[in-house]
Structure 1
Amino acid sequence: MSTRRPLVLIVVAAGLALAIVLAALAGAGLFAADHLAPITGPSTDPGELWAVPPIETSAIAVAAVLYALAVRRLGGVSGRRRLSFAAGLLIILAAVVSPLTGMAQQGLLTAHMLQHTLIGAVAPLLLLLGLPRDFATRLVGPVAMRRLQRLQHPAVAYPVWAVSTVLWLVPAVHHEVLHNSAIWIVQQFSFALFGLLLWAPVVESIPAPAWFSTGWKGGYMNGVWTLGLFIANVYWFSGTAFYESHAAAADAWGFEALEDQANAGTVMMILHCLLAFGAITYLFFRQAREGELSQRLIEAGLEPARVSAAIRAGGGEALARTHGIPVRTRPGID
């Protein structure tokens, strides 16, 4: 057995111990563990809506420690990459301990949608950007990498993410989420995990299929936007408030239930637009740069297969510099 496995087990055990301690402290009344189904009705005082959920907080701490240990052991992760991973964890932490989670748990649908999108879309992207390909492939090993490649195949990742997103918005399911702490916790973890799955073939910390080039990634992200648009339109124009469990919280915050639902659709649409079209814009310009660089490398005598592999892995510019080839053209000179 390698020395890595016992260390991982120790960190996980420490995380479980932390969860137990936090649960005990919450039980003693030092702080709230959650705000599900409040007896006295929804609170609109942000100071009362902070919480320290033991399982989620401990899981974030475990992830942070394991990442730090892996970076120290393997190296190859720049400061910007580390900052990205840290930002992803901090966004999740803020989403589960701040008043946002209290508002969501007590039933304000707009807050729930914002929390959903932060945990399930924004944070996973930042986490994956903190895992450069060379680091990630060395971290998981060849066997696990092949399994992850099958799981993150675009034809698997997108449908699984889409189904999970719609499933959690089914009114009957949504009602149980607000009244059952175990289901709430499962939902939070599923947001993060399926968000990682969604972004995995785009970021390619683990290589995606060879055919899934930059252009295909743009189409994939358009599919993400389309689903967000569909859900938002249902919320905006249905004329029906789907979630009775959210009515009391909406009223406490000064909204009609239908207005809260429409606001939730707006939150989803804005964040999906920012993420999807931000990614599409980046991929468009990236494709233009890659095409130009590929042509220059091939014209310089490098094998097309080698050029394609290097650019796909993000190493095209390094390959060009190695052979003394300008990375970018200079008008009137190159």
Structure 2
Amino acid sequence: MRYIGSKILMLSNIKNVIDQNTENVQTIADVFSGTGVVSRFFKQNGYSVYSNDSLYMSYVLSKGMLEMDNPISPKLKETINHLNTLTIENAKWFDINTAFIYQNYSPNENSKRMYFQNKNAIKIDLIRQEIERLKPQITESEYFYLLALLINAVPYVSNITGTYGAYLKFWDKRTYNSLVLQETDILHSNVDCKCYNMNATDFAQQVVSDLAYLDPPYNGRQYMPNYHILETIARYDYPQIKGITGMRIDPEKMSDFCKKSKAEQAFRELLTNLNCRYILLSYNNESLLSTDVMSQIIQEAGIRQTFRLFEYDYRRYKNKIPNNAAGLKEQLYFIEKKL
């Protein structure tokens, strides 16, 4: 899944910094997990991972792919096939009036929004409702695995350029594809992993780890408005929505990490509350806080002589194509924390 600020191209750099600057790290807390790509990378490399994100869709993606450790059973394969073959005709229990995605995010008598072709909107509702119906018959890990497969499948039929902050006014060719759940291999490991759906500061106070990895928001761009439909599919809570794009009306306020006036204090509070031996933080040199300010905040939370700043040429996120931007540096801030 394309995700704002994804660290998939930074994984080797992250590993190198950990390998070269730490000792005996066995547990890692991923404080802002996003799609879970870094958490899964940590698990793949033998670490026990505590993965957290305040977005429920991110929690689902991590829990579905991180906590599950057993091979995909023949029965679960049959369930995936069953979900893929659902239709209005063979799902006698299905009521189109309860199909929230179809009713609100595809063109019909109730909506003009063009996020999905009708067939795919209905398929999303069919699969999401059937997963809920199957919940008493499957394990918790299988439930979240199936939800994760659905969330990962949706972008491939979405009429967007990258995020769900807006839809295209014409049908992109991908929208004519049929939504299909694709079985994803499970990472088998002897380590324990646990996922959380919490505010970052609350998570920091609760979880103890050897190293905390942080990939916070870099700017004023909120994640919820850009992924609101995936959040609704994950929750399937029939929320109140508003506006041209059908945004969720949620009580959550804008994150302090996205506010120029409050980001500095938010980082100080978070870093102070982390229960870990090492801190590794991703940021860039065009973020809300300057390199000098972030360096100072990090050093206040740790042992100053252990502070390191690593910089890498990176690519700016754009809706269509991530391109090389002169002067843009992806940064990794490292420090050993004060005990």
- TM-score of the pair, normalised by structure 1: 0.23
Larger strand share, 1 or 2: 2
**Which is greater in Rg?**
1
Larger helix share, 1 or 2: 1
